[in-house]
Amino acid sequence: MDAGSFLRLQTSKYVNFAGLAVLLFDYSITFESETRWVWGRKWDVTRVAFTFSRYLPFAGAGLTAYAALRQIGEHPTSKEENIFHIVGIIAAEALLIVRTYAFWKCNRKLLVGLLVYGAITIAGALAVNLSPKTLVPESEQHSPQDRTPTLINSPMIASRNGAIVYAFLMAYEIVLLCLMVYKRFRDYRDIPNSLVSAVYRDAIMYILCIALITMANVIIDARAPIEYSDMLDIPQIVAHSVLATRILFNLRESDKLEDEASVVTTMSSLRVRPRSAEVSRDDLSRG
């Protein structure tokens, strides 16, 4: 392996270790939110999806970090690593679906459509990922002939088919993003509700961030030097985990604020009624 290839491969490893550090740091600062908004609640679909998206990335990121530390030629691929990554990302996307479903006022037709489209997306991504052939053509400057045997056997080298897999994922995220924008300007445009605006703003920001890092993975896997093919492996699952769990935290907090607002409104109306009643009784006594 030449010096340039070695440097690019080391850069890829450092970026992955940085992603692992971000995951650990985020967990430490959001643990209180998890105990407040998740613990003690029933084990429904949302909590199961949250648990998978929250904790599977630790296993997937750990296996990727271990792969980065392995010597070239030692088990270049790990099926367990891929499984943890895929299931963690699917769980995070499920939380994004929950957010979109809630914003659409629990429209069941929308939910069914998203689930069917999600199943098609997963099937297509798995088919590409399991394909023994490289479906993304190499550029002339990164032709297969330029790869040394040691580089091919590196644990941190992935197939360029990953670009298509991430493209499936990016397309799904763009659909969620468009659905949020469409609903905001169709039904909530003329509603001066700060709560709706906060929910919308958070959802757009989080989905957009996930879509951007997914797009970066598509570009890197398709056209960057092959040594960078796994550079955003851990950052991808970390972005999904960190942002999707925050979406759930903010959604639960928004629900609580809405409930508190309705209680305040109810209490205010209850306070008004006795006063009206007292006035009526005074008027009657005077008469």
CATH number of the domain to which 219 belongs: 1.20.1070
Q: How confident is the model at residue 197 (pLDDT cuts 50, 70, 90)?
A: confident
The sign of the CA dihedral 76, 81, 83, 85 is negative
Query: Which band of pLDDT confidence, cut at 50, 70 and 90, is reported for residue 287?
Result: very low
pLDDT band at 284 (very low <50, low <70, confident <90, very high): very low
Q: In percent, how much of the chain has pLDDT > 90? A: 39
In whole angstroms, how far apart are CA 247 and each of 7, 135, 141, 199, 274? 37, 35, 42, 9, 42
pLDDT of 1: 59
Whole-structure pTM value: 0.79
Q: Residue 204: is its pLDDT beyond 90?
A: no
Whether residue 135 is contained in a domain is answered as yes
The Cα diameter of the chain in Å comes to 105
Count CB-CB contacts under 10 A for residue 184. Answer: 19
Q: Assess if residue 120 is contained within a domain.
A: yes
Domain assignment of residue 77, yes or no: yes
Contacts of 250 (CB under 8 A, 6+ apart): 198, 199, 202
Q: Is the pLDDT of residue 256 over 60?
A: yes
pLDDT score recorded for residue 271: 53
Domain for residue 87, yes or no? yes
| pLDDT, greater one: 248 or 286 | 248
- Report d(CA 2, CA 4) in Å as an integer: 6
pLDDT tens figures, 24-57? 999 999 999 999 999 988 999 889 999 999 999 9
Into how many domains does the chain fold?
1
Q: What is the mean pLDDT of residues 231-257?
A: 85
Q: Residue 99 carries which side chain, given as an amino acid letter?
A: R
Mean pLDDT, range 158-162, rounded to an integer: 83
The backbone region for 19, taken as left when phi is positive above 0, alpha when psi lies in -120 to 50, beta otherwise, is: alpha
d(C-alpha 152, C-alpha 285), whole Å: 97
Instruction: State residue 260's pLDDT score.
Output: 59
What is the predicted pLDDT for the residue at 199?
Answer: 74
In whole angstroms, what is the distance from residue 214 CA to residue 96 CA? 15
Q: What's the mean pLDDT when you consider all of the chain?
A: 81
Within 13 A of 147's CA, how many CA atoms are on the CB side? 17
Cβ count within 10 A of residue 41: 11
Percent over 70 (pLDDT), the chain: 78
pLDDT at position 173: 92
Asked if residues 103 and 180 have their Cβ atoms less than 8 Å apart, the reply is yes
**Domain coverage including residue 153:** 3-256
Q: Cβ(37)–Cβ(249) under 8 Å?
A: yes
- Within a domain: residue 82? yes
* Interval 57-114: pLDDT, tens: 999 999 888 888 875 555 545 677 888 888 999 999 998 898 889 889 899 999 999 9
User: What is the average pLDDT across 3-18?
Assistant: 90
User: What is the distance between the alpha carbons of residues 60 and 85, in angstroms, rounded to a whole number?
Assistant: 5
CB 231 within 8 A of CB 204: no
Look at residue 287 and tell me if it is in a domain: no
Whether 273 is in a domain gets the answer: no
Is the pLDDT score of 138 beyond 90?
Answer: no
Residue 151 maps to a domain: yes
Count of alpha carbons within 13 angstroms of residue 258, beta-carbon side = 13
User: Which pLDDT does position 261 carry in this prediction?
Assistant: 56
